[in-house]
Amino acid sequence: MKKRETFAIENFMPGRDSTGLTVGVGMPVMITFDRDVTDRVSIERNLFVRTSRPVLGAWHWFDARNVHFRPKKFWPAGTRVRVEARLAGVRGGKGLYGAANRTVNFKIGRSQITRGSIQSHYLTVKRNGKVVREMPMSAGQGGELEVPHDQRRAPRHVTGGRHRHDLPGHRTRFPRLLPADRLRHRPHLQQRRVHPQRPVVGRLPGQLQRQPRLCQRQPSNAKWFLDNTLIGDPIIITGSPRVLEPMNGWGHWQESWRQWLEWSSLKHFNTEDV
In eight-state DSSP terms, residue 210 is -
- Decide if 110 contacts 74 (C-beta within 8 A): no
| Average pLDDT across the chain, whole number | 77
pLDDT band at 207 (very low <50, low <70, confident <90, very high): very low
Q: 122-143, pLDDT tens digit by residue?
A: 889 999 999 999 988 876 655 4
Instruction: Round to whole Å and give the CA distance between 58 and 137.
Output: 34
pLDDT at 144: 47
Instruction: Round to whole Å and give the CA distance between 10 and 17.
Output: 14
For residue 44, pLDDT over 90 is answered with yes
Calculate the alpha carbon distances from 135 to 201, 221, 228 in Å.
Answer: 11, 7, 14
Q: pLDDT over 70 for what percent of the chain? A: 68
Give the mean model confidence (pLDDT) for residues 228-233.
94
For residue 198, pLDDT over 90 is answered with no
Q: Please return the burial class of 257, using the count of CB atoms within 10 Å of its CB with bins 0-12, 13-18 and 19+.
A: middle
Give the mean model confidence (pLDDT) for residues 246-262.
81
Give the mean model confidence (pLDDT) for residues 116-120.
84
pLDDT at 246: 61
- Reported pTM: 0.78
For residue 234, pLDDT over 90 is answered with yes
Lowest mean pLDDT among 6-20, 62-76, 134-148: 134-148
Instruction: Round to whole Å and give the CA distance between 58 and 263.
Output: 10
